[in-house]
Amino acid sequence: MTFIQRHAYGFGAAFAALLWPFFFRRRRLAVENIMKCGIASDRKEARRIARRSWCHLPGHVCEALCVPNVVTEKNWREHLDMSEGDPEAVKLLLDSPKTPILLVSGHHGVWEAATNVLSFARPMIAIARTLNNRFLARWMEKHHFRGPVTIIDKNRGFTPEVMRKWRSECSAMTILMDQHASKGMKLSFLGRPARTFTSAARLAIRTGYPVVVGSFVRVAPYRYRLVGGAPVRFAKDADLAQATQLLNDRIADAIRKYPEQYLWVHRRWRDD
């Protein structure tokens, strides 16, 4: 690795640390979120976690931009740490390319880098907000994602074309479901009421495909650990609210283990 590649995360985190004192409202929001969720019992510890999480996001983005030049088809498995992953979940992700799956997570860990690395194991479909700048979007598609990664605009929804692609390519449909949903179902997330998107649970119930829920967290430069339990499968008659709550709880479990890598500054909770 070059010097820039090796220290990409540190550069991003250091830049964010310089800006941290100037974002008073975000600092206060992050600390309040951490305290109300029971992650920390005193404000000093909450401030420490808030600052670490603030620095993690740009650090992660900077490192993710270097992933295509560091992680290759020959060495990608060396960059994944499965020591905390459930064996069946690991097998589904890495060694079952003929099984379509749902990969459900939140703004936790290294979702951007993990999508790139996992694309060496199977095709990936990521539901995300597309970039408004078409030149930047084209550059990202050509240079950032080296494997078979398809970005679907979250405003398009799960069209028949997307569903056919998912089934025919046996892709991993990747969904981050911890954004605030103004018209979503009111459930509990990290012990607090939160409007929640139900699309992941709806897809799982409709298709019967297995769901891997959790996160990839950064444990070293370009080394990412899977944190999550056994895959979830829902019956056709499963209760939507209960299914969505189970996914929420699984994501929350991963966040509690590595709170410094969650995006505490976003307005997830707006109903309490």
pLDDT digits (tens, 9 = 90+) for 225-249: 999 999 999 999 999 999 999 999 9
Query: Does residue 111 sit within a domain?
Result: yes
For 64-105, how does the pLDDT look when each residue is reduced to its tens digit (9 = 90+)? 999 989 999 999 999 999 998 899 999 999 998 899 999 999
Query: Does residue 195 sit within a domain?
Result: yes
Percent of the chain topping pLDDT 90: 74
| Average pLDDT score, the chain | 90
225 and 81 Cβ atoms separated by less than 8 Å? yes
pLDDT number for residue 143: 47
Lowest mean pLDDT across 125-129, 217-221, 264-268:
125-129
Q: CA nearest 264: which of 112, 53, 56?
A: 53
pLDDT at 146 over 70: no
pLDDT number for residue 195: 94
pLDDT number for residue 135: 54
Query: Does residue 269 sit within a domain?
Result: no
pLDDT at 213 over 50: yes
Query: Does residue 138 sit within a domain?
Result: yes
253 and 188 Cβ atoms separated by less than 8 Å? no
Strand, coil or helix: what is 7?
Answer: coil
pLDDT number for residue 153: 73
pLDDT bracket for residue 272 (50, 70, 90):
low
Number of folded domains in the chain? 1
Token reading at 168: 């025919």
**Residue 233 to residue 240: CA distance in whole angstroms:** 13
Strand, coil or helix: what is 237?
Answer: coil
Query: Does residue 65 sit within a domain?
Result: no
What pTM did the predictor assign? 0.91
pLDDT at 134 over 70: no
pLDDT number for residue 158: 79
Cα 197 versus chain centre, distance: 15
Query: Does residue 233 sit within a domain?
Result: yes
Query: Does residue 93 sit within a domain?
Result: yes
The bridge status of strand 124-128 relative to strand 149-153 is parallel
pLDDT number for residue 150: 80
Query: Does residue 59 sit within a domain?
Result: no
pLDDT bracket for residue 262 (50, 70, 90):
very high
pLDDT at 140 over 70: no
pLDDT bracket for residue 45 (50, 70, 90):
very high
Query: What is the mean pLDDT of the segment spanning 32-51?
Result: 96
**Residue 129 to residue 184: CA distance in whole angstroms:** 18
Domain range for 219 is: 75-258
